[in-house]
Every structure is written in structure tokens, then in C-alpha cells.
Structure 1
Amino acid sequence: MRRPRLPRPHSLRGRLVLIAGLLATSAVLLCQLAGLAVLRGWLTDQVDDRLSHFRPPDRVYQDLADGGTAGLPTSDSALPSDYRVFFYDGSGRRLRTSLGGGTGAGPRLPERAADLKVTGTPSTVAAEGGAGGSGWRAVSYSGPDRMRTVVALPLDTVDGATTKLLWVSLGLGAAVAVGVVVLGNGAVRLGLRPLTRVERTAQHITEGALELNVPVEDPDTEVGRLGLALNTMLDRLRTALHRTETSEQRLRRFLADAGHELRTPLTAVQGFAELLIEEPGMPGRRRREAHALIAHNADRMSRLVDDLFLLAKLGEGDGDTRVAHREPVDLLSLAADAIATTAIRHPRHAITLEPLAAHPSGPERDLDVIEAPGDPHQLAQVLGNLLANACAHTPAGTRVRVRVGATRATAGRRLGSGPPLPSGTPVCVIEVADDGPGIQPDEAPHVFDRFYRATPLDPPAEPGSGLGLAIAAAIAAAHGGRLELDNRPGEGCAFRLVLPDPAIAPDDDAVAARHRQVPGWSSAT
């Protein structure tokens, strides 16, 4: 059987008021009870002191021994006080003769002195008749000839005073309880007002208003620290939701772009395959042409799928995946090989290899050897993509310059594909610059996006997939560097592959640390 539980308030304000009321009432009652005990003890001590200073005169004992009562007082006026005096004779029998005034019941005393529990020390004795009245304080004295005397004083004054004080204490406790409930409710409501605002804001946030923040009036209070913690949690939640939405949008856009890119070669393969099936008697020349087109579009799809796999392997351009294979790569030799390969495919462009202008505080390096750790095949792919884009988006005869060197990263406003490098960081740079028309200002921020193709001056026979610069940016990020764009519309543009140079120590760690804290673009000069 379950034991019944006392109802309790569900709100924090109600619980605080209830607890404060109980504590205050208990404190008042405890203080009053302590005062009541002290007062009763003090009044009882006063009665005991009166008892200790009162003794019957010896003449009374003599008169009682002679068997007469002529010498005893016969009226209440003879002993005008609340004392009561009782006598026991030598045989231990209580005498009917007593002294004292008053009409109330006296103390309950035994008939025999042997049964008397009152001693020379004052003690409490109940009243006669078993009534619930006040008791008596009594003390016993020994007289001549084995006689005993009992002197008693009533405790009605003590009981009256303590009873009144008890009622006053109960009334005061009830008043305190009511006052604490009434005034405490307002005080708690006022004190919890910041928490109430936090509760309302949280309710609005749960209803969908995610842009709100919890109000923080005083960050040194518990509610203020709670508000700061909730705001931090909300900021992280909004950031996570934004990342999720951005990731979903990128995924949908990626699927749409990938489907669009694959649709054209897939449609061509399907069309030529159906043509071969429906026309078995096709002439040999046309059959070979259809086979060649099928192979060409299949190769195009294969290259597109390979690029997508490479992007996925490199963390989709986010720089989360590092290069598994690293070795010292001679960037000068890499640039020379890439220039030779590109010159064969684009003979109408003049491609030259030049040294990079060094930063005034840059490291002193032998220009015959510029090495950076990395994967030579991936870095060659980056340089090949940059050269192919420079030739595809510039008119015939445009000069393309490839610059290689070592310098230090500095603050700037160049567009980049990844987070900026701290200012002063030693870097190796491969720059591909051209004197062409440059990139349109509205197209420049999107050149590193997947499947984005800037409009070329002379459309090639076969457009690219739009993944070249995205792959190059992903490879740069995987090597701990970044890909930058210095665009000058009408005068040309320059792409820079910036790689950290672990062979040179930073020149000023303090400067580098300060730049890590300042948002902005970092680039190589």
C-alpha cells in the first residue's frame, strides 16, 4: 500500500516561499519556546527561594506536641499569603491542623510521613482531587520529636505566565508565517524576475525564434552565469544548424551539378549505343565513328568520376584529410615539367619560368632548390590545372608567367580557398600569372566552387567539368596551405599555391600569435 504524499507546489517560487515560511516560523517558535523555558525556570526559582526562606516557628511545634491548638492562628488573616503548611506528628501521621489561606485545592500529600516524597529540596507536587489545575512546589523540614513540616507554594502564577507566553508565541508564529508567505512571495517573485525572463526567452526559442539570446543583466550572479552558458549553447546550436543547412545545400547542389555533368556524356553514350543496335547494317565508317564517340564520352565520364572520388578522398575541399604520402618536392623542377607539358597542348601561349620577388624580411634561400614536403603527383596536378585554366581563359599569344620562390605570409585581402596562414609564416609559393582579361568581379568569389565554370574568352571544343580549381584547392588544404587569387579585371590574374615551409623557423612568434587572433586574409607577397 502506497503511503500518501503531502501535496507540494510545483513552481520554484512556491517552493522557495514555502521553505522560507517554514524556516521563519520554526525559528520564531524555537526562540519563543526557549524563552518560555527560561521564564518558567526563573519563576520556579523564585518560588523555591521563597520556600527556602520560610520556616514555622518553634512555638508551633511545642503547641502541637502538647496536643493543643490554642497557640496556632485560627483565621486566614493570621497568615495572609499563599503559603500552605502541613504537619506530621512523631508517629508519622498527618495532622488535620494546617496553616495557610485560600479556598483552592492544596497539594496532594500522603497520610503517612513514610510515604512522603517531599524532601529538603523543593519539588513539584500535584494538586488534590486529581484536577488538571496548577501544581505546587513543596519542601519538607524536620521538627522536634520526629515531627515533620511540609511548606508548599502554588505554581498557578508560573503556569499562568507561561500559558500566556505560549499563546503569544503561537500567535506570533502564525503572524510570521502569514507575513513570510505574503511578503516572501513578492520578494521571491522580484528576485526571480531575471530567471522568469530567461524562461520566457527559452519558451520563444523552443517555438522557433532561434535568433533570440537570453538576456544577461549581471554576469556575476547565478542567473547571469546561466544566461551566458545558455547563450554559448545557443551560439553553438545556431552554428551547427547553419553548418547542417549549408552542408545539405551543398549536397543538393553537388548532386544536381554531378547529375547535370554526367547527363550529357551518358546521353551521348546511350544514343550512339541505341543507334548501333537499331541499325545493324550501318556502314563501317559511321560505325567506327559511333564507337569512337562512345569511347570518348565514356572516358569523359570516367575522368569526372575520378575527380569526384579525389574530392571525396581529400575531404571535399575542407582540408580535413592530410596527405598520406609526403616527400621533399622540388618545386622548380615540378614547375618546369608542368610548363613543358602545357606548352605542347597550348603552343600559342608563351609560358615562362621566373623567380618570385622575395619579401623584404623573407628567408634567404638558394633559388636553385625550392623544396616543400608533399605528394609530387598531387602538386603536379594542381600546377597543371592552374596552367590549363590560364591558357583556356586567355586569348592566343597571351604571356603566362610561372614564378617559384620562398617568402613569408603577410596580411592582405586576396581571395583564398582556405583559412589564412599566420602573418610571418615561412611559405613556398608557386604563382601562375597571366596578362589576360582577368576574371569578372562577380565570378571571382566562386572560382573555387565545385562545378563552377567561368566564361572563357574562346570557348574550347570540350568544356571542362568545373572541378579543376576545386580539386586544386582541396589538395592545397590537404598540404596545410591554401590557393589564392589575385584578380585584376582587364589586366590579368594570378593564382598562388602557398605551402608552409618547415625548413625555416618563424621570425617572430609573438607577431604570428597576434595574427592568429585577428580575422582577415593572409597571403604571400
Structure 2
Amino acid sequence: MTLLAATAVLTAQTIGVLVLHSWLLDRVDQQLAEFILPQRAFTDLDGQSGVTAPGSVSLPSDFRVTFYGANGIERGTLGGGEPPGPELPASTSELNLTPGRQTTIGAESGDGHWRVLWGDGADGTTFVVALPLDTVEDTMSQLLVLNVAVFAVAVVGLIAVGRWMVRLGLLPLTRMERTAQDIAAGHLGLRLADTDPLTETGRLGTVLNHMLDRLQNALRQREASEARLRRFVADAGHELRTPLTSIQGFAELALRHPERPTEQRREADEQVAKNAQRMNHLVDDLLLLAKLDQEPEYRRIPVDLLSLAADAVSAAAVRAGGEHRITLNPLDPTAEDSELDVVVTPGDPGRLLQVVNNLLSNALVHTPSGTPVDVRVGIGRADAATGGTDRPGRTSASPALAEGTPICVIAVADQGPGLPREEAERVFERFYRVDPSRSRDQGGSGLGLAIASAIAQGHGGRLELDTRTGSGCTFRLVLPLAGAEPSRGSAPEVLRRG
């Protein structure tokens, strides 16, 4: 920018010098063109000396006139002015001038210049009128000196002001650099302060802040994932260690006491088989989770969720043995036109049945005897009341669906003791058990809800929990409704089949 500005100043000065020089020269040319030589100046020439008679004719200013006779020989000069005069030849044959056109020639000595004009006189005589250019040259010299000084000051000023302006303009970037250095040093919570949307640096700061937020979130997710992985490995090792220890203990007992009674050997064999079966179930669950984590392809066939829920209720009623009252109702039993409707949605019936069975099993195992369990089936739209979206008191391991999305729901609600918020937020974690002291024969290994949540998410829905202490638990399987419409009047047939 300094170079461009200096070029502009130099160009303006050059144009100014050329214009002024042309204007001054035109003034001199105008004076020469308007000069009128009196006729008596030719008659008053002294032919012998070649100088006009004193006092005969006077010329204004610095005009100087050189006369040439009809034979082309110089006859004399007229006028004053400071010497040296113009360098003119002694005859017109050597005079390289064009009549009627102003020309610049040098002085007789030195570096001065004169502006001359060749004109015609009386009786074939000619003359050359001249004006010195000392005033023009002095003016131009002073102007050039002034221009050089102004140019030098302008360039120095432009460099100084330009550096200051550049530093001022780059000040936000300098602050960004310092903040970036602090972030690189480990202060990940810092953000760039310059976020004015009207400036380029401000928009850059906004974009960088968004990028830093995403990077920090990615780092947090990575740390959380690593923590979950470590906890998962530790929990899996702990779960496998217990049956392995039992099997190892009974095997060592058999080796040390081969002559045990038949009843003791049978009891030991049963314990070995029981622990081996538990290990087998645990390994199967781990393999299933690994398969679900790889985004398996589920079967996509029409699934009748009402029939599926009825089958699960029938099986759970048999397992409960009359200790729990299990009912099947519409999603909103308080509605005036509430009745059971067949809801069909594409999915894997085996996996979805596994989810419902798991929810019913949890309700039967984790609630006191005699606690009612209500299974509800229906369709609606995703909202805070129906399900599918987040709200206070609701937890899920899967992202929420868009508000108003058509959904189909299977809810399993009990009237048990419920869960506090801290435990409810972890129920979908792998190997997490609400009561660590509960027997694994009753409480399981803590993988059931994690598997159910993965299956629900693989179907494009989610598994969620609404609960609080003393208010029971409502697990809700929410699936997107793919163009299915309820068909009324077939519920009794479905229940009979269940």
C-alpha cells in the first residue's frame, strides 16, 4: 500500500511539474507571439557598428532582438537583459529556425536557455526576438526540490502510518494467536474474544470458536468412551471371574477328594454346570452387544406390535405365577375412544419381542410381589407426554426424535418403588445394576437394558425411562411409524392368539 501511495504521489507531482512547465512556456510563447517590433528599429540601425543608436528604440522587459539584413548577414542587436545572450549564428543560412514558430536554444555560455521566434522585417530583412527562460528554469528547479522533499516526507509518513495501520488491523489476529497458544498449552476452555460478524477477523473468530467447541466435545466424548471401555472391560472381567472362580474351586475340590460321596459330587457338578451356563449367557450377551455395535442389518418385515405385546404379556404372566397382575391397555386409557388398536410397523419381530420381554422381566424382578404391571400399546406423535423427546425426569441412551414425528409405542409401567435420578441416568449402561448386592441369579449381569436400547436405536427409535423415587418406572419402546395406520376391531382376535 505504501508503494501504491508513493506511486500515486510521484505521478501527481510529475503531472504537476509537466503542467506548470507547459503553462510557463506557453506564457513566454504568448509574449513572443504578441511582440511587435517598431518599424523605425530597422532604420535606426547603424550599418557600420551593427548597434542601434542610443535612445532610439527601447524594448520592454528582457526582450532581445537580433537583426539580419537582406543578404542574410547579422546587422546588430536591440534590447537589454543580463548576459550571456542567445547563441545565434552570424547568418541566416546557419539559423536552424522555422519562421513563425517558437524554439528553445542555448545561451552563448553557461547552461541557460532562451526562447526565440524568427520573424520578417522591411526590405527583405529578418529578425529573431528572444526571451530568457531563467525565470521558468528557476521556478521549475525550486518546484523539483520541493517535490523531492514532499515525496520523501510522504514515503516516510506512509511507511510509518502503514505499519501502524497494519499492526492495528492485525491486532485481533495477534490476540487470536495468543489465545491459540494458551489453548495449545492446555487451557481448552478458552475461546476467541473477537467475534464481530461485521469484520473478517470476527467471522473467523466465530468459526474458530465453533470448531474449538466441536473439538472439545469430541475430546470429551473420546474420554468418556475410553472411560466406558475401561469400565466395560473391568465389569466384564468381574462378571466372568465369579463363575470361573466357582468352576475352578469345584474342579480343584474334585481333584483333591476323588472319593467324595455321590451326593456331594452331584451337587458340585450341578454348580459347575450352573456357572458354566451363566458364563455362556454372559458371553452370548457380549457377542450380541458387539454385533449390535457393528450396526447389524435387521429384518424389515411388518410387525404387529399389539400381537407382539400380547405374546410377551402371556409369557410374563406364566413366569410371574400370580405374584404380579399384568394388564394390556391402549396407550392412553383415559381417552374417550380409547381401545386396543393393531399397530403395524416394519422391523425385526424377534429382536423387538426380546426388548419387550426384557422390560417385563425387569418389572417382575425389581418390584415387590403384588405390584401391578401395565403394558400399553398405541400410536401418536413424538412429544413430552407421548414419548420420543427429552424432558425433565426422562433418561435414554439414544438421541431424541424430532418433535411431532409419527411414532408407535410399547410402554411397560409398574407401580413399584421407582428409581432416584442418579440411578435412572445409568440404567442403560452396560453391566450397571441398580442393586449391586442382588444375586446374579435374580438381577442378571446388567446387560439386558443395554441390549434393548441398542436394538431400539437400530430400528431408528429409542428406549427411554420415566421414573422418580416412589412413583414407579415406565419404560417406553418408541419406534418411528412408517406409514402405518391403526385398524380398529381386531384386538380381541390378537388377544385370543396371545
Alignment TM-score > 0.5, same fold: yes
Classify the secondary structure of the residue corresponding to 2:382. strand
The Cα shift of 1:461 comes to: 3.6
Asked if residue 307 in structure 1 is aligned to residue 280 in structure 2, the reply is no
Task: Answer yes or no: is the 8 Å Cα contact 2:329–2:374 preserved in 1.
Answer: no
Distance 1:195 1:210 in 2: 19
Distance 2:150 2:176 in 1: 38
CA gap of 1:75–1:439, structure 2 versus 1, over 3 A, is same
Distance 1:356 1:240 in 2: 42
Distance 1:102 1:491 in 2: 122
State the match for 1:14 in structure 2: none
Distance 1:29 1:491 in 2: 88
Distance 1:153 1:421 in 2: 99
The Cα shift of 1:341 comes to: 3.1
Task: Answer yes or no: is the 8 Å Cα contact 1:365–1:406 preserved in 2.
Answer: no
Task: Answer yes or no: is the 8 Å Cα contact 2:377–2:411 preserved in 1.
Answer: yes
Distance 1:77 1:170 in 2: 45
Amino acid at match of 1:438: G
State the match for 2:306 in structure 1: 332
2:106 to 111, 117, 126: 126
Coordinate RMSD, CA, aligned = 3.5
Distance 1:444 1:406 in 2: 25
Classify the secondary structure of the residue corresponding to 1:405. strand
The Cα shift of 1:430 comes to: 1.9
CA gap of 1:406–1:45, structure 2 versus 1, over 3 A, is closer
2:241 to 247, 263, 288: 263
State the match for 2:315 in structure 1: 341
State the match for 1:511 in structure 2: none
Task: Answer yes or no: is the 8 Å Cα contact 1:219–1:225 preserved in 2.
Answer: yes
CA gap of 1:70–1:404, structure 2 versus 1, over 3 A, is closer
1:99 to 78, 83, 90: 78
CA gap of 1:493–1:118, structure 2 versus 1, over 3 A, is same
State the match for 1:373 in structure 2: 346
The Cα shift of 1:164 comes to: 1.1
Out of 225-234 and 24-33, give the one that drifted further: 24-33
The Cα shift of 1:45 comes to: 0.9
Task: Answer yes or no: is the 8 Å Cα contact 1:124–1:137 preserved in 2.
Answer: yes
Classify the secondary structure of the residue corresponding to 2:293. coil
Tell me the TM-score normalized by structure 1. Answer: 0.79
Distance 1:104 1:122 in 2: 21
Distance 1:249 1:185 in 2: 52
1:47 to 9, 17, 28: 28
CA gap of 1:254–1:91, structure 2 versus 1, over 3 A, is farther
1:26-64 alpha-carbon deviations (Å, 9 max, x no partner): 433332332222221111111111111224444444566
1:454 to 417, 429, 434: 434
State the match for 2:371 in structure 1: 398
1:159 to 127, 132, 137: 137
Amino acid at match of 1:32: Q
1:483-512 alpha-carbon deviations (Å, 9 max, x no partner): 22232534532222222223468xxxxxxx
Mapping of 1:226-265 within 5 angstroms?
226-265=204-243
Distance 2:58 2:228 in 1: 116
Mapping of 1:63-462 within 5 angstroms?
67-69=47-49, 72-74=52-54, 78-79=58-59, 81-93=61-73, 95=74, 97-119=76-98, 120-129=100-109, 131=110, 133-144=111-122, 146-183=124-161, 186=164, 189-190=167-168, 192-216=170-194, 218-272=196-250, 293-315=271-293, 321=295, 324-347=298-321, 349-358=323-332, 367=340, 369-412=342-385, 413-417=392-396, 418-455=398-435, 459=439, 461=441
Classify the secondary structure of the residue corresponding to 2:384. strand
CA gap of 1:256–1:112, structure 2 versus 1, over 3 A, is farther
Task: Answer yes or no: is the 8 Å Cα contact 1:395–1:457 preserved in 2.
Answer: no
The aligned length equals: 478
Amino acid at match of 2:146: V
CA gap of 1:422–1:54, structure 2 versus 1, over 3 A, is closer
The Cα shift of 1:74 comes to: 4.7
Task: Answer yes or no: is the 8 Å Cα contact 1:404–1:430 preserved in 2.
Answer: yes
The Cα shift of 1:210 comes to: 1.9
Task: Answer yes or no: is the 8 Å Cα contact 2:195–2:204 preserved in 1.
Answer: no
CA gap of 1:324–1:111, structure 2 versus 1, over 3 A, is farther
Distance 1:422 1:97 in 2: 112
Distance 2:243 2:267 in 1: 15
Give ranges in structure 2 of 5+ residues lacking alignment.
386-391, 486-498
